[in-house]
Structures are given as C-alpha cells and as structure tokens.
C-alpha cells in the first residue's frame, strides 16, 4: 500500500474513479448548462452562442470558433478564493487555454459554420481535478449546445447554408430529419472529449486524483483524449521526484481506463436528450 506524506488516506482503490453525476439544464438561460459532480469536485458549465464571431475573424468566414473561460468561485476552496476582477491570472489563464484548445481539437470548426460558442466553467467546489472535470463537463455541454443549434436550423451542413442574398430575402432554414441531424452533429463533433488525472504515490499509480491524492503525489499528470483514442494533451510533472518511461506508460494506461469510462458515461448521459 502506498505511503502517504500526510496523515490522510484514501478510501478508494488505486484504479477506482470518483462517482460522476450530471444534471442537465441546471440553469435555464444558457443554450446548454451542466452541473457536473466528480466526487466532491462540482463544476457548473454553461455554453452560450455569441452574437457574432470574434472581431479578428474574416468577415465572410465559413468556420466558427469555440472559446472557454474558467473560474474558481469564492466558496469553492477551504479559504475564500478572491475573485479575479481584472481578468484571469496565472493558473486560471493557463487552465482556460487548456480547456479552450482541448474543445477546439475535438470540434470541426468548418462543419460548425460561422458560429461562436462560449463555454464557461465555474468551479462551485474544488476537491482536485478541476481542470479535467471542466474539460469533460464542457464537452457534454458543447455537444448538447451543437445538437440544439442543429435542431433550430442555426448550425447546418455547408451545402444547406444560405447565401447573404438568401438571408436578406427572408430565407427559411430547411428541416433536417433525425438521421440528418445526428449525422451533422457527428460531423461537428466527430469524437467526444474527456480528461482525467493520474498520479504516482510511493510507486503506485492512482486514478482521478482528489485533493488528498494530489497533495501526496510524487508525480501527477493530466491526460486529455478524444473518443477515437487520440491524445490532445498530456501534462505530467514530477513533484520533487522523477519518473521512468515504464512509470509513464503505467500512468497513461491507468488514465486510459478512466477515460474509457468517461466516454461511456457521456453517451449514457446524452442519450435521448434534446
């Protein structure tokens, strides 16, 4: 059994992931919102459609954009986390960029069309793995948002999109069949996205690090992956320690098991949701 630096122990086996629970449309005003729980880490993710594409986009752009923001709320940690009123700093900015580029890696922006989506990840309670939980929850919210935009006739296959003249003359979007909607959704988001943390504690590999595990880890790693088995990002760091190639492969192998479970959970969660 791994030796912990602190007096605390974990009640999970090394291969066990924390329980995942999702509430759909927690807030009604967003295009899609998800209250996501992974153990005691709780994230509220809201996906909204912007009125226009970013100003630096070409005026006649045929592709879209996905942006993300991340925030720890004041009561999310054991001591009050001060609001970053003058913009994201250091760690927050780094996590925002990770979430945004991960989402964009999973989305075909040409298939999305000239639509800008904003995904806000607010941490209501932090117990480790907030960036990974945010990425997984953000994918669920983003897929649901895209599904709804397709149903509304806002997000369409490129050959069905109106010209500028058609828009001005009162164009009416076509009605897609259920199969056509599903096919287009899968062209916009070909594969789901998920992220999980793993760590090495006294030579033993642990999955899904909560605060206790993370604070005791000799090596911790965040792994982001798409459902077709492709890695988006791997962030691994030795905390006053080093790790071998063999240990690296063991960490990735354990992460893969957790990610497979998250991909299956996402399919179940979104099955039949409009």
Query: Which pLDDT does position 179 carry in this prediction?
Result: 96
Give residue 72's pLDDT band: very low, low, confident or very high (50, 70, 90).
Answer: confident
Query: Which pLDDT does position 158 carry in this prediction?
Result: 95
> pLDDT tens digit string along 128-168?
999 999 999 999 999 999 999 999 999 999 999 998 888 88
Q: Is the pLDDT of residue 7 over 60?
A: no
Query: Which pLDDT does position 84 carry in this prediction?
Result: 77
Query: Which pLDDT does position 157 carry in this prediction?
Result: 96
Query: Which pLDDT does position 222 carry in this prediction?
Result: 97
> pLDDT tens digit string along 37-51?
999 999 999 999 999
> pLDDT tens digit string along 17-30?
999 999 999 999 99
Domain boundaries, the chain: 20-270
Query: Which pLDDT does position 10 carry in this prediction?
Result: 74
Q: Is the pLDDT of residue 87 over 70?
A: no
Q: Is the pLDDT of residue 1 over 60?
A: no
Q: Is the pLDDT of residue 178 over 80?
A: yes
Query: Which pLDDT does position 74 carry in this prediction?
Result: 80
> pLDDT tens digit string along 98-124?
999 999 999 999 999 999 999 999 999
Strands 116-125 and 65-72, how do they pair?
parallel
Tell me what percent of the residues of the chain surpass a pLDDT of 70. 95
Please state, in angstroms and rounded to a whole number, the distance separating the CA atoms of residues 29 and 153. Answer: 19
Give residue 261's pLDDT band: very low, low, confident or very high (50, 70, 90).
Answer: very high
- Arithmetic mean of pLDDT, 51-69: 92
Q: Is the pLDDT of residue 247 over 70?
A: yes
Q: 20-270 belongs to which CATH class?
A: alpha beta
């Amino acid at each position: 059994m791994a030796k912990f630096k602190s007096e605390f122990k974990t009640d999970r086996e090394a291969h066990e992931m924390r329980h995942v629970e999702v509430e759909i449309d927690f807030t009604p005003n967003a295009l899609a919102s998800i209250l996501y729980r992974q153990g005691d880490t709780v994230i509220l993710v809201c996906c909204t459609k912007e009125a226009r594409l970013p100003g630096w986009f070409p005026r006649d752009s045929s592709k879209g954009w996905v942006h993300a923001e991340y925030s720890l709320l004041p009561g999310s940690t054991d001591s009050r986390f001060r609001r970053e009123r003058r913009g994201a700093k250091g760690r927050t900015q780094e996590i925002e960029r990770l979430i945004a580029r991960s989402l964009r890696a999973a989305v075909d922006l040409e298939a999305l069309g000239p639509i800008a989506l904003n995904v806000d990840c607010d941490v209501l309670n932090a117990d480790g793995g907030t960036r990974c939980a945010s990425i997984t929850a953000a994918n669920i919210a983003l897929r649901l948002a895209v599904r709804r935009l397709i149903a509304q006739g806002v997000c369409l296959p490129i050959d069905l999109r109106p010209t500028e003249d058609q828009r001005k003359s009162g164009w009416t979007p076509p009605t897609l069949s259920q199969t056509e909607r599903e096919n287009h959704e899968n062209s916009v988001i070909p594969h789901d996205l998920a992220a999980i943390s793993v760590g090495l504690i006294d030579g033993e590999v642990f999955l899904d690090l909560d605060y206790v595990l993370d604070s005791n880890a000799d090596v911790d790693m965040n792994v982001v992956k798409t459902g077709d088995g492709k890695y988006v990002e791997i962030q691994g760091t030795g905390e006053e320690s080093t790790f071998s190639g063999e240990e690296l492969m063991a960490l990735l192998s354990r992460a893969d098991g957790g990610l497979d479970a998250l991909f299956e959970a996402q399919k179940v969660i979104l099955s039949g949701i409009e």
